[in-house]
């Protein structure tokens, strides 16, 4: 006994059985009920959303032996033959294989003849955009004024390629992509009717991979049944689709949000061990980044298919809006790169490294490698991970004049202790960025008082304050962190680092000017020093 695939077995036979497309169904039902039905229809939409199915149901409604209605009986010989694909007055034409004008003329020569069995003769032309220009021209007059007994039903996935002259002669319906909930609900209904065991998470995964196409979802469901030996389980579906579990995605995004390179490396190793589809993982990260942006900027709860809203809220607080937008752009770029890369694993790893290494450019307009010398985003402090830069900042801070805001106490001592805390406590990501933008004011046994520089209020999140407070308590033996506003930007560790780097740059410039090899290159070959490479 041959097996019938689910996409054919569960093809809707009535308008009431269709999933989605209510706007199309309502118009056709009203037209059939009132008897005001156009002679030419054009159904457009992506694959697997019901274009051909709707056309066949419409043909069945027009030729049902019980009469023209929006609900064909499904039992008469006309309905049965249309369902089986053997009804003589329903001509299904694949325009992709019959593109020539001779084929079209042969078809039009038979239009004038009355239907052999039914009330009307129905021409269903699939992928009509594949017809040649000559074929369209031959079709125009008949399409505009066909005989009373003829209906044209055209379907296409690419309506832009259909000539305007044809579009103007048809009643056009645009079928939308189905939502995940609609696809998932239909898959669950089918599995329940077939008495097949399944997991809700497995259905969600298949519905996501269907990408708006119910037919693709049913094909994936058939594949999952074969893979899972007659059951649909989450673990098997994830392996089949190359997807990874929620816990892996959460760990990877957590590590990225914190700027923790060791955790990122560990998450990449976990991914590699599962042999995933890196294109699929990239798409998951794109969706998560979108959800973070919505949670961050609109402030409303997001019903994400991948992670809980609590995770989105935490990441929305930990990352600046600029960083979230940059992540989205870099991940979109990675989609194209993965298609060209010889090794998807390496291409994906490079994308993750970009997320760690780049930050939004000050003032907008692009991205730049994370470095000192300007205000930075909340997540990136890549240039500050080494101890050398902090020691340089401490040396500059020690050389500053005494501060009048700390009761006459020299600013060098708090600055040095603050720099030591930042280095020794291994602060990273948004917590480290906040620490670098705080001006040390007064350190005592009971409390450490600092002030946040103006313009960096977005760093003052509950998450960052709590983590930094714990670091202060651990480093100082119990002192509480007190953060105020109105700090001087030039008295922070970040400003000290910028001064140290500026001094280093000036020293490098002086060394280059005095270098005999460089001078010889200028003298002999007219060489010029380039400050930046573009």
pLDDT in tens, 94-133: 888 877 788 888 888 888 899 998 899 999 999 999 998 8
What's the CA gap between 153 and 117, in Å, rounded?
19
Return the biggest CA–CA distance within the chain.
106
Q: Is the pLDDT of residue 380 over 70?
A: no
What's the CA gap between 296 and 319, in Å, rounded?
9
Domain ranges of the chain: 6-174, 180-241, 246-363, 384-497
pLDDT in tens, 411-459: 446 888 888 888 888 787 788 888 888 988 888 888 898 998 888 888 8
For residues 264-273, average pLDDT: 91
- The gap between the terminal CA atoms of the chain, to the nearest Å, is 67
Angle between helices 246-258 and 309-318 (to 10 degrees): 10
For residues 391-397, average pLDDT: 48
Domain 246-363 is found in CATH 1.20.272.10? yes
Between 3.40.50.2000, 3.40.50.300, 3.50.90.10, 3.30.1600.10, what CATH number should domain 6-174 receive? 3.40.50.300
pLDDT band per the 50, 70, 90 thresholds, residue 325: very high
Mean pLDDT of the chain: 83
- The pLDDT score that the predictor gives to residue 381 is 33
**Mean pLDDT highest for which of 314-328, 415-429, 454-468?**
314-328
The reply to whether 246-363 shares the fold of 6-174 is: no
pLDDT in tens, 476-488: 888 899 888 877 7
CA 497 vs CA 351, 375, 391: distances in Å:
28, 12, 9
Which of these ranges, 31-40, 89-98, 132-141, 377-386, has the smallest mean pLDDT?
A: 377-386
Instruction: Please tell me which residue, 367 or 245, carries the higher pLDDT value.
Output: 245
What's the CA gap between 464 and 258, in Å, rounded?
10
Q: Is the pLDDT of residue 154 over 90?
A: yes
Percent above pLDDT 70 for the chain: 87
- Alpha helices, DSSP H, located in 43-100: 51-63, 77-84
- The pLDDT score that the predictor gives to residue 390 is 54
Positive/negative CA dihedral, 28, 30, 32, 38: negative
Angle 463-466-467 (CA atoms, 0-180°, nearest 5)?
85
Rg (CA), the chain: 33
Instruction: Please tell me which residue, 382 or 528, carries the higher pLDDT value.
Output: 528
What's the CA gap between 451 and 473, in Å, rounded?
18
Residue 496: count of CB within 10 angstroms of its CB: 26
Find how far residue 25's CA is from the centre of its chain: 31
CATH number of 180-241: 1.10.8.60
Q: Is 270 left (phi over 0), alpha (psi -120 to 50) or beta?
A: alpha
- The pLDDT score that the predictor gives to residue 253 is 92
- The pLDDT score that the predictor gives to residue 487 is 76
CB 209 within 8 A of CB 283: no
- The pLDDT score that the predictor gives to residue 457 is 84
What's the CA gap between 21 and 16, in Å, rounded?
11
What's the CA gap between 356 and 252, in Å, rounded?
12
Q: DSSP assignment of 396-452, as one string? A: HHHTSPPPGGGTT--THHHHHHHHHHHHHTT--HHHHHHHHTEEEEEE-SSEEEEEE
CATH architecture, domain 384-497: 2-Layer Sandwich (3.30)
pLDDT band per the 50, 70, 90 thresholds, residue 178: very high
For residues 85-100, average pLDDT: 87
């Amino acid at each position: 006994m041959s097996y019938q695939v689910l996409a054919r077995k569960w093809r809707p036979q009535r308008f009431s059985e269709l999933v989605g497309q209510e706007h199309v169904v309502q118009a056709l039902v009203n037209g059939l009920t009132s008897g005001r039905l156009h002679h030419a229809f054009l159904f457009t939409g992506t694959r697997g959303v019901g274009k051909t199915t709707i056309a066949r149901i419409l043909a069945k409604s027009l030729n049902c032996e019980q009469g023209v209605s929006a609900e064909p009986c499904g039992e008469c010989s006309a309905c049965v033959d249309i369902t089986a694909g053997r009804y003589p007055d329903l001509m299904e034409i694949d325009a992709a294989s019959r593109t020539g004008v001779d084929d079209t003329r042969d078809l039009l020569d038979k239009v004038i003849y009355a239907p052999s069995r039914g009330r009307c003769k129905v021409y269903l032309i699939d992928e009509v955009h594949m017809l040649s220009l000559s074929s369209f021209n031959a079709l125009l007059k008949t399409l505009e004024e066909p005989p009373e007994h003829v209906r044209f039903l055209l379907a296409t996935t690419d309506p832009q390629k259909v000539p305007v002259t044809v579009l103007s002669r048809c009643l056009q319906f645009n079928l939308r992509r189905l939502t995940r909930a609609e696809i998932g609900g239909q898959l669950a209904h089918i599995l329940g009717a077939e008495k097949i065991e399944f997991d809700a998470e497995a259905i969600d995964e298949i519905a996501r991979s269907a990408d708006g196409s119910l037919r693709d979802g049913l094909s994936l469901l058939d594949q999952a049944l074969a893979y899972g030996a007659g059951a649909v389980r989450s673990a098997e579906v994830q392996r089949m689709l190359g997807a990874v579990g929620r816990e892996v995605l959460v760990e990877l995004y957590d590590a990225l949000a914190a700027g923790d390179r060791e955790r990122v490396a560990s998450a990449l190793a976990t991914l590699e061990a599962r042999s995933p589809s890196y294109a699929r993982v990239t798409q998951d990260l794109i969706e998560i980044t979108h959800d973070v942006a919505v949670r961050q900027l609109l402030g409303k709860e997001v019903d994400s298919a991948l992670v809980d809203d609590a995770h989105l809220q935490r990441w929305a607080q930990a990352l600046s809006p600029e960083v979230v937008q940059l992540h989205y752009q870099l991940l979109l770029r990675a989609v194209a790169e993965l298609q060209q890369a010889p090794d998807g694993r390496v291409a994906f790893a490079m994308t993750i490294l970009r997320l760690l290494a780049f930050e939004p450019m000050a003032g907008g307009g692009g991205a730049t490698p994370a470095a000192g010398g300007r205000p930075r985003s909340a997540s990136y402090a890549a240039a500050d991970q080494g101890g050398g830069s902090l020691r340089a900042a401490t040396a500059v801070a020690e050389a500053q004049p005494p501060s009048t805001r700390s009761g006459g106490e020299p600013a060098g001592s708090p600055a040095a202790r603050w720099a030591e805390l930042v280095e020794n406590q291994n602060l990273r990501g948004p917590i480290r960025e906040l620490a670098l933008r705080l001006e040390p004011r007064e350190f005592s046994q009971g409390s450490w008082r600092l002030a946040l520089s103006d313009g960096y209020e977005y760093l003052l999140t509950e998450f960052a304050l709590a983590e930094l407070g714990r670091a202060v308590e651990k480093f100082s033996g119990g002192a509480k962190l007190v953060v105020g506003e109105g700090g001087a930007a030039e008295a922070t560790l970040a400003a000290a680092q910028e001064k140290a780097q500026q001094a280093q740059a000036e020293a490098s410039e002086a060394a280059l000017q005095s270098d005999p090899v460089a001078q010889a290159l200028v003298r002999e070959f007219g060489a010029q020093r380039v400050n930046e490479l573009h």
